[in-house]
Amino acid sequence: MFHKKLAPFPKDFLWGAASAAYQVEGAWNQDGKGPSVWDVFSKIEGKTFEGTNGDVAVDHYNRYQEDVRLMAEMGLKAYRFSIAWSRILPQGEGKVNEQGVQFYEKLVDELLAHGIEPVVTLYHWDLPLYLQETYGGWESRRVIAAFKDYCRILYQRLGKKVRYWVTMNEQNVFTAMGYRWELHPPNVSDLKRMFQANHHINLAQAEAILLFKELVPTGLIGPSFGYGPVYPASANPADVLAAENGEAFNNGWWLDVYCKGQYPKVIWQYLAEQGLTPVVEKGDLELLAAAKPDFLGVNYYHGGTVAQNEYEQQAASPQREKTFSGIDPYHIQPADEQQASPEKALFTNVENPYLTKTAWNWEIDPVGFRIAMRRLQDKYNLPLFITENGLGAIDVLTEDGTIEDDERIAYLQTHILEIQKAISDGVEIIGYCTWSFTDLLSWLNGYKKRYGLVYVNRNEASELDLRRIPKKSYYWYQRVIAANGELPLDDN
């Protein structure tokens, strides 16, 4: 819809930035920290760009005061960071590492002293290695109890200081990358195991929310989901149906559990036909139904475009009419293929001719951001907190010591404008965290792919001096924050 005048951002809007423990902290075995699955996986040959790992990362653990000072100078209102589970509990359970807890207490205190709202993410992919090796990680229900105990420690130690908490970061991403594509730990390709692990993570998420309501009654908690709207390739009803399938399979499968406390019936029925649904024990569904988040965190980068699934395309094709005449298209699918790639019978991914792409082939779609916010508000009626949004690019440190990242400014500018339009549409938004504050270790792409507002002087081969250098986008975002989004967004 068109608005003659856009609504202003709320006066208490949280202009923020984000990070994740493994990607910034380093100090992988310092002060009693135990190993995580990423400390091992990143050292498997060929799994990361040029063998990069988070042993040092950008050394935020030892330089957090400098980083917070830069946040304060920018005027940041919120900083979202994750806590390394194995820094609190080196084995993921059992004895608490007091030095680890104290680090996060000091970080929170430093943020609050500078007027910055801490936003704590409980789980951002770095499962303690002991839990993976001893129990099988998220495939074991034992890890649900371990996660609840871990959360209890943090709620008790930080609950009076931290108002905003995120349970799971991008559960849809880390389950698929770890249990399907072998690109993350535990380095598995087995959809049946993926859906079972995903169910246990849902239960852990629910336990974390219910315990939070008990121990931190004045706080707010919710998951962060990697959401992308799904578009039909055309007005052909078959493509529209494919988009409905894509939205349900890619998004609703997780979001309905988070926000409605139940698995969506259509996708559950379809996965049951493939033998892919998880084992659900007595009391599981009641637990999911009881845990309602206070907000929905949204990590937005892009969506996707789909056409009718290839099997029905084949059955409807005039060239194939004789071959498939009178045959149910679902009967032409090899059973093993359907189980290994269940979406093949739901939709076909296609290129969107209306969108440009980043250097990493990610679509740039700011209008899709507004679509995402509208859809989520309408379907789930929860406040939204934009917990990630940003541009990964190849940033160059010039001879005069500056980083001219105009491409990032243009990206942020267009996406922030769509947030204001969504607010004008009536969407309730708590805040916006760019990804990321400093440059950080990309899980798979090392330091070549940079997201930060602050440049960190290091590369894949060497930590160099790890100097922090604000980019042009840092100063641009500084002005946006100071004006609460009212600064002309094309003034860079």
d(CA 77, CA 15): 5
pLDDT level of residue 491 (50, 70, 90 thresholds): low
**For residue 59, what pLDDT band results from cuts at 50, 70 and 90?**
very high
Mean pLDDT of 200-220: 98
Tokens of 447: 């330091």
User: If you average pLDDT over residues 461-478, what whole number do you get?
Assistant: 96
Say yes or no to pLDDT of 327 above 50. no
Res. 336 pLDDT band, cuts 50 70 90: low
What is the predicted pLDDT for the residue at 389? 98
Give the whole-angstrom CA distance, residue 25 versus residue 124: 13
Q: In the structure, what pLDDT confidence band is assigned to residue 266 with cuts at 50, 70 and 90?
A: very high
Average pLDDT over the chain, rounded to an integer: 94
Under 8 Å between Cβ of 302 and 335: no
Q: What are the tokens at 388?
A: 């990630």
CA of 4: how far to CAs of 393, 421, 473, in Å? 34, 11, 29
pLDDT band at residue 335 using 50, 70 and 90 as cut-offs: low
Dist CA 90 CA 125 (whole Å): 15
Tokens 């270790």 -> residue: 441
Measure the CA angle with vertex 471, ends 80 and 461; round to 5°: 85
Can you tell me the distance from the alpha carbon of 59 to that of 28, in angstroms, rounded to the nearest whole number? 10
Helix (H) or strand (E) holding 119: strand 117-123
Residue 92 has pLDDT above 50, yes or no: yes
Model pLDDT, residue 341: 87
- Per-residue model confidence (pLDDT) at position 337: 61
Region 40-63: mean pLDDT is 95
- 194 vs 327 pLDDT, higher one: 194
Residues 6+ apart with CB under 8 A from 134: none
Residue-wise pLDDT tens digits, 390-433: 999 999 999 999 999 999 999 999 999 999 999 999 999 999 99
Q: Which pLDDT value is given to residue 314?
A: 80
State residue 328's pLDDT score. 47
pTM over 0.85: yes
The single residue listed with the structure tokens 């034992």 is: 142
Q: How far apart are CA 438 and CA 25, in angstroms?
A: 11
Model confidence pLDDT, tens digit, residues 129-164: 999 999 999 999 999 999 999 999 999 999 999 999
How far, in Å, CA of 321 to CA of 354, rounded? 32
In angstroms, the CA 96 to CA 326 distance is: 65
Residue 313, pLDDT score: 86
Mean pLDDT of 189-214: 98
User: Which three-class secondary structure state does DSSP give residue 259?
Assistant: helix
The two tokens of residue 346 are 């739901």
The lowest-confidence range among 337-351, 361-375, 448-462 is 337-351
Helices (H), ranges, 114-216: 129-135, 142-158, 171-179, 191-215
Determine the Cα–Cα distance for residues 107 and 121; give it in Å rounded to an integer.
14
At 216 the pLDDT is 98
**Amino acid in position 143:** V
Residue among 155, 157, 165 at smallest CA distance from 215: 155
pLDDT exceeds cutoff 60 at 47: yes
Q: How many CA atoms lie within 13 A of 339 on its CB side?
A: 15
DSSP-derived 3-state class of residue 486 = coil
Q: Phi/psi at 10 (nearest 5 deg)?
A: -55, 150
Instruction: Enter the DSSP assignment of 249.
Output: I
Task: Give the helix ranges, DSSP H, for 341-433.
Answer: 366-380, 406-425
Enumerate domains of the chain plus CATH numbers: 14-232+291-302+356-482 (3.20.20.80)
DSSP designation for 277 = P
pLDDT value at 32 more than 50: yes
Q: Tokens 């050292």 appear where?
A: 43
Q: How confident is the model at residue 330 (pLDDT cuts 50, 70, 90)?
A: very low
The 10s digit of each residue's pLDDT in 444-467 is 899 999 999 999 999 999 999 999
Spatial contact of 366 and 418, defined as CB atoms under 8 Å apart: yes
State percent of the chain over pLDDT 90: 91
Rounded Cα gap, residues 54 and 120, in angstroms: 20
Which residues are known to be catalytic?
A: 388
Residue in this structure with the two tokens 């303690």, named with its chain if needed: 128
pLDDT at residue number 151:
98
